[in-house]
Amino acid sequence: RSSSCADVNLSGPFNYGDDADLDILWESCSSWDFAACDELWLVSPVDSIYEECGATCAWYFEDGLHDCERELGELSDSSATFYGDDPQLDLIWDDCETGVLSACDDLYWMAPVGSDYESFGSTCGNLGEPTYGECVAPALNYGDDPYLDGIYDDCADGNLYACDELYQMSSFDSEYEAFGNSCGGLAIEEQWGSCAENLGD
């Protein structure tokens, strides 16, 4: 299963893969080690994707700076399997059961692999077939997701790093992905998340 941070990648400097020590913190943060997220934010270069990963607690929050360990603590016990094993996952389960589909997606991603928690989240509260974290329909077009809209706007204004971020963060075959891939319409050929590298000064 891909982690939140691992799904986000920019082609510019201070990217995942640029620094072995920061990569270790990134991977720990992506596995819901929130102390690692806080440390990643502290030691990362300013305005780097490393810093953003740490500040948002592996994109648990859409944006802003968060004290991940204080706000989230340990999201799940790796041995938790059934409802009742983990109080925090139980709360998310309850929200999912009442029809909060975003909670179902959160439950799927946070739960131990193979657990009842994971299965309940994946089926959107036993409403149907497994969705594997996509109970909430993916954002496809401009206007579907305010956060992606903001990155889209930055890309449209010529921020090539934003174009790369938009490409990496958006759903496959979406308008968001296509716009990022074209570097906001500046590129003749698809750039596959390398706008800043190939078109930057």
State pLDDT tens for residues 23-33. Answer: 888 888 877 77
Evaluate the CA torsion angle 64, 69, 70, 71 in order and state its sign: positive
66-105 residue pLDDT tens? 788 777 765 545 678 899 988 888 988 999 999 988 889 8
110-164 residue pLDDT tens? 888 788 998 999 999 999 999 888 888 888 899 988 888 999 999 999 999 999 9
Contact between 38 and 199 under an 8 Å Cβ cutoff? The reply is no
Closest CA to 155 of 139, 170, 144, 140: 170
pTM greater than 0.85 (yes/no): no
d(CA 26, CA 11): 16
Indicate the domain borders of the chain: 5-72, 78-136, 146-194
What does pLDDT average to over the chain? 83
d(CA 77, CA 54): 21
